[in-house]
Structure 1
Amino acid sequence: MEAGQRPRWRKSDLGLRGTLATMKKRLPGLALCVAIALVATGLGTLAPVVGAPVFGIVIGAVIAAFLKPGTVAEAGAAWSGKYVLQASVVVFGTGLSIVEVLQTGWHSLPVMLGTLAIALLGAWLIGRALRLDGDLRTLIGVGTGICGASAIAAAQSVIRAKSADVAYAIGTIFTFNVIAVVTFPFIGRALHMSDHSFGLWAGTAINDTSSVVAASFSFSAAAGAYGIVVKLTRTLMIIPITIALALYKRRQAVKAVRADAAAGTSAEQPGRLAWNKVVPMFLIWFLVAVLVDSLGVIPASWHPYLSQLGSFMITVALAGIGLGTRIGVLKQAGLRPLVLGASLWVLVALSSLGLQAVTHTL
C-alpha cells in the first residue's frame, strides 16, 4: 500500500467488523440480564409461587430506576427483551407433543377455546371501558387466555408494545396466578370436583404453567398430570393468535397510509405482505420444535432440562424488559390494569366451570 493511501476494506470485512462492534455494544447489557436472571432464579426457588420471571422483571425495573437513559446496558437489555424472548418461546416448544395434544380428547376443546374467546373479548370490551391502551389490553388478554408470560412474549414480538405495557401485563398476570394457586384447590374440594375436572379447570383458567402445576398437584397427582397436558395444549394457541395479531397490525398500517393519502400527505404505500411478516420466524421455529418433539427426536430425559433452559431464558428476557422500564411511567397506569386482570380472571374461571357443566365434563 502506498503512503497516504487509505486501506480498502472488503464488504465482508466491514460486515464482520460491524457485527463484532454490535455484539460488543450489547454484551454489557446482556451480561447484566444474565446476572439478574441468576439471582432471580435463586429467589424463585425460595419462593416458587412468585417465580423467577417475576423476580427478573422486578429486579430489572428496580435497577433501571438508578440508571440514566443511554447507559451502556441499554442496547443489550433491549436485545434481550426481544430476541432472547423469542428464543425462549421456541425452546418451550420442545416440551409440546402433538400426540399429547390429541390425547387430551375433543371434549376439552370447547372449554379451552371458549375460555380463550371470553378472555380476548373481555379484554377488548372491559379494557375499552377502562380506557386502557390497546396494546396493554392485548397483552393482558393473551396472557390470561393462553399462557401468561410465554403468550405475552409472543404477542410482544409482534405488536412491539412499550416496555411499560409488558411490565403492567406481567405484574397483573403474576398477581392473579398467586391468588389462583392459593384458592383453586380449596374451591375445587368445596365443589367436590373430580381429578379430571379440576385438572381441566386449572389448565384452562390459570395462566402460567408453573402455577397450573402448583395448583393442580396441590389437588391431586392425577389432576396435576391432566392439568399439565391441558395447559400445554392451550399453549399452542400462541400460533393462531400471534398470526392474527400480525395481520391486524398490518391492517392498521395500511389504514394509516390511506388516511395520510386522503389528507394530501405524501405517504408510501406498503408493499405486498410477505409471509414472514405474517408468521414471525420464531413461531415457525416454535412449530418445528413441536414437530421434532412429536417425532421422538428429542429424548424424554431432555425435557426437564429444556424446560429449565426455557424458563431461564424467559427470566433473562424479562430482566431486559425490566431494565427498559421506568418506574415513573408505571405509576401513570394506576389500578386500571389490575381491574382488567381481575375481571378477566373471574370471567375465565367461571366460564371454565360453566363450559364444563354444559359439556358434562364437570
Structure 2
Amino acid sequence: MIRKLLFLAAAACCLLPFMDAGLALLLGFAVALAGPHPYPTQHKVWSHYLLQVSVVGLGFGLNVHSAIQAGRSGLLLTVASISIALAFGLWFGARLHLGRKATYLISAGTAICGGSAIAAIAPLVGAKESDMSISMGTVFLLNAVALFLFPWIGHLLHLSDTQFGLWAAIAIHDTSSVIGAASRYSPQSVEIATTVKLARALWIIPVSLVTLIVMRSTSGAQQQRLRIPWFIFIFIGVVIVNTFVPFARVLAPVCLSLAKHGLVLTLFLIGSSLSPKVIRSTGGRPLLLGISVWMLIAVGSLSAILW
C-alpha cells in the first residue's frame, strides 16, 4: 500500500508546472530503482493510451498547412532512414549472431517507432516473450538517452527549430521521447517533430504487411491481425478541425495544455518501467545492435538536414 501511495504521489508531481519530460523520466527511473513496480501490468496500459490521447491533444497546436509542409519536408528522409535502418539492422544482427526474431524486432523498432512497432510486428513473426523483452529494453534505454542527448547536441550545433524537430522525428524511436526531446528544445520544434514522427509511425502498416506476407508459411502467422495505429488518423482529424472550425480554437489552449501534461506523465510511466531487471535483460549484443542502427540513422539524417 505504501509503495502504491508513493508511486501515485510521484505521478502527481509530474503535473506540477515546473516538471518537464526529462525530469519526469528521471523521476520514473528513480521509482523503478526503489523496488518492484506497484502496478506491474497496469502501467503499460496506462502509458500506451495516455500517449495516444496526448498526441491527439497536440493536434490542437497545429494547422493543416503547417502539418502538410512538415510532412512533406520529412518524407524523403523518413523513407530513406527506414529502408537503410532495416537493411543494416538485419545484416549487422546476423553478424552479431543474434536471434533472427530479436534482430528483426530491434531493427524495426529503431527504424519506425520503437515499442509500437515491436508490439505490432512481434505477433506476426511469432516472437517469444524473451525476444520482446530484449527488444523493448534496448529501445527504451536508447530513448531515455536520446531525451537528454539530442537537445544538448541541437543547441551545440545551433540547429533551428525546424531542423531539430525534423532530426528528432527521424532519429528518435518512440513518439513520447521524440515529442519530449522537442519540447525541451522549443515549442516550434514540437510541431515539426509531432507531424513528421506520426507520418513515420504510419510505416508500421506497410512493414507489417510485408512481414505478414513473408511469414505466411510460419505456423499461426495467417491468423494474426495487423495493428493499425488508428489514433494517428484521429490526430489528423483534430488538426483539420483546429484549422477550419472557429469554435475549436477556443478550446485549443486548454486541450494543448492537458496534452503536454499528459505527455510528461507518460514519460514518468515509461521511466518507471526501466527496472534493473529490464536493463540486465537487454544484454550487450542487442544493445550494440540498437546503438549501431540508431547511430547510423542519427548521424545520417543530421548530415542530410545540415547539408
TM-score normalised to structure 2 length: 0.70
**1:184 equivalent in structure 2:** 154
In 2: Cα distance, 1:153 partner to 1:204 partner = 15
Does structure 1 residue 113 correspond to structure 2 residue 79? yes
The answer to whether the aligner puts 1:241 opposite 2:187 as a matched pair is: no
Q: CA deviation at 1:63?
A: 1.6
For the residues of structure 2 that align with 1:228 and 1:56, how far apart are their CA atoms? 22
Quick one: which of 223, 228, 237 aligns to 1:291? 237
Q: In structure 2, what is the equivalent of residue 93 of structure 1? A: 56
Select 1:351's aligned residue among 281, 300, 307.
Answer: 300
Counterparts of 2:10 and 2:214 in 1: how far apart (Å)? 36
How far apart in 2 are the matches of 1:140 and 1:354? 23
Identical pairs, percent:
18
Does structure 1 residue 255 correspond to structure 2 residue 217?
yes
Q: 1:285 to 1:136 in 2, by over 3 A?
A: same
**Is the alpha carbon distance of 1:84 and 1:293 closer, same or farther for their aligned partners in structure 2, counting shifts above 3 Å?**
same
- 2:93 alignment partner, SS class: helix
Structure 2 CA distance for partners of 1:36 and 1:230, relative to 1, 3 Å: same
Question: In the TM superposition, what is the alpha-carbon distance from 1:350 to its structure 2 partner?
Answer: 2.7
Structure 2 counterpart of 1:11? none
Alpha-carbon separation, structure 2, partners of 1:128 and 1:54: 34
Q: Deviations over 1:139-164 (max 9, x none)?
A: 65455445xxxx33422442366345
Computing the radius of gyration over CA atoms, which structure comes out larger, 1 or 2?
1
Distance 1:256 1:202, change over 3 A: closer
Shift of residue 101, structure 1, vs aligned partner: 1.8
2:245 aligns with none
Structure 2: distance between partners of 1:61 and 1:349:
29
TM-score in terms of structure 1 length: 0.61
**Paired residues of 1:101 and 1:232 also in contact (CA < 8 A):** no
Distance 1:337 1:290, change over 3 A: same
1:180-226 Cα deviation digits (max 9, x unpaired) = 3323322x24xxx66654554455345522223334x4xxxxxx62x
> Which SS does the other structure have where 1:295 is aligned?
helix
Separation in 1, partners of 2:114, 2:86: 13
**Are 2:96 and 1:124 aligned?**
no
Cα deviation 1:62-88 (Å, max 9, x = unaligned): 522xx8xxxxx5xx5224314641442
TM alignment of 1:279-358, pairs within 5 A: 279-280=227-228, 283-296=229-242, 297=248, 299-301=251-253, 302-313=255-266, 315-316=268-269, 319=272, 321-322=273-274, 327=277, 330-356=279-305
**Cα 1:39/1:309, change in 2 over 3 Å:** closer
The residue identity in structure 2 corresponding to 1:231 is A
Q: CA distance change for structure 1 residues 289 and 201 in 2, over 3 Å: closer, same or farther?
A: closer
Cα deviation, residue 57, structure 1: 5.0
**Distance in 1 between residues matched to 2:89 and 2:9, nearest whole Å:** 32
